[in-house]
Amino acid sequence: MSTMDSIVENTLLPRKDFGEAWDAIKVEGSVKQRLLAQSVLSLQLRERYSFELMPVHGLIVLTGPPGTGKTTLARGLANQVAKALGSVRYIQLDPHALGSSSLGKSQKEVSKIFQQTIPEFAANEPTIVLLDEVETLAADRQKMSLDANPIDAHRATDAALAGIDLLCRTHRNTLLIATTNYPKAVDRALLSRADWIEDIGPPNAEARREIIHDVLGLLAKHWPQVGDLKKDIASFVTASDGMDGRRLRKAITAAGAISIEIAKDLNKLKADHVLATLKRAAAQADVQGDAA
């Protein structure tokens, strides 16, 4: 396997679909503003000062439970930065593809990513790298048990940290955005390098209202009577308390599968169907939450 296999996306931004990602995620406006300002500031400072004077790593970390929009928001953020700067190269890394830790393989591949692959891109243009599910790349060395190749996994984390340190000194036009479900499984040395950590929680009532409004609006483009359900949004918002954004989007659409007749013609979808589906999904989310 080559390090190129771990690059799951490589494109120039801005791009329309990335812009849609930014708009799709409903979080408090201040969160989006902060993330964008932090990204732009970090690139500005790093362009003008050496790391020694201004120890800005150009690393932003998004933490939070599954399905809260971290990956989507990160992609959207890259697009907003590209719009602010003109254009940027965007690369998405899948740390899972960096090979197993057996035979020191992942250590070598991790080093290569930071010392060769990313610098090659960054030589030509500002580059934003998404390190999705970064707990795989920089697993907490303190929590490594003695059984599963701890030494090699240890070295992979060392290589990631050393790679990030070198990259942020030598390539001042890179920005790393990392996401994780398990901040506790991420090595503390990685988190300490972050210029900003944003904890993205499940959507609040206002965000849920926006998500539901969005989904109903999308369905109403093809089945206009779905639009009538917007008058019942308040009850949907209450019924979806505690659900993550992914589940909520799915649950609203899943209401259309309550019968074949409705699946064929969503104009027949009624508020009761949506409520019943939401309550069921919320109960399942509760059970999972308890188990976690």
Enumerate binding residues for ligand ATP (CB under 6 A): 24-27, 64, 66-72, 179, 181, 203, 207, 211, 245-246, 249
Q: CB pairs under 8 A, 24+ apart, for 214-223?
A: 214/24, 214/26, 215/249, 215/252, 215/253, 216/252, 219/253, 219/256, 219/266, 219/269, 222/266, 223/265, 223/266, 223/267, 223/269
Distance of CA 35 to the CA centre of its chain: 12
Nearer to ligand ATP, 26 or 46 (CB): 26
The least distance separating ligand ATP from the CB of residue 13, rounded to whole angstroms, comes to: 17
**Are 128 and 175 within 8 A, CB to CB?**
yes
The least distance separating ligand ATP from the CB of residue 205, rounded to whole angstroms, comes to: 12
Structure tokens at 78: 């890259």
The least distance separating ligand ATP from the CB of residue 178, rounded to whole angstroms, comes to: 12
Distance of CA 19 to the CA centre of its chain: 14
Nearer to ligand ATP, 46 or 70 (CB): 70
Nearer to Mg ion, 181 or 225 (CB): 181
The least distance separating ligand ATP from the CB of residue 31, rounded to whole angstroms, comes to: 10
Q: Which does 256 bind (CB under 5 to 8 A by kind): ligand ATP, Mg ion, none?
A: none
Buried b (16+ CB within 10 A) or exposed e, 260-278: eebeeebebbeeebbbebb
Closest-by-Cβ residue to ligand ATP is 245
What is the rounded distance in angstroms from the CA atom of residue 217 to the CA atom of residue 96? 36
The least distance separating ligand ATP from the CB of residue 92, rounded to whole angstroms, comes to: 12
Distance of CA 23 to the CA centre of its chain: 14
Q: Which does 211 bind (CB under 5 to 8 A by kind): Mg ion, ligand ATP, none?
A: ligand ATP
Nearer to Mg ion, 64 or 256 (CB): 64
Q: Which does 289 bind (CB under 5 to 8 A by kind): ligand ATP, Mg ion, none?
A: none
Q: Which does 24 bind (CB under 5 to 8 A by kind): ligand ATP, Mg ion, none?
A: ligand ATP
**Tokens 């719009």, residue located:** 83
The least distance separating Mg ion from the CB of residue 39, rounded to whole angstroms, comes to: 18
Reference 282, options 240, 233, 230, 225; nearest CA is 240
Nearer to Mg ion, 75 or 112 (CB): 75
Nearer to ligand ATP, 64 or 163 (CB): 64
**Are 66 and 250 within 8 A, CB to CB?**
no
Residues at the interface with Mg ion (CB under 5 A):
71
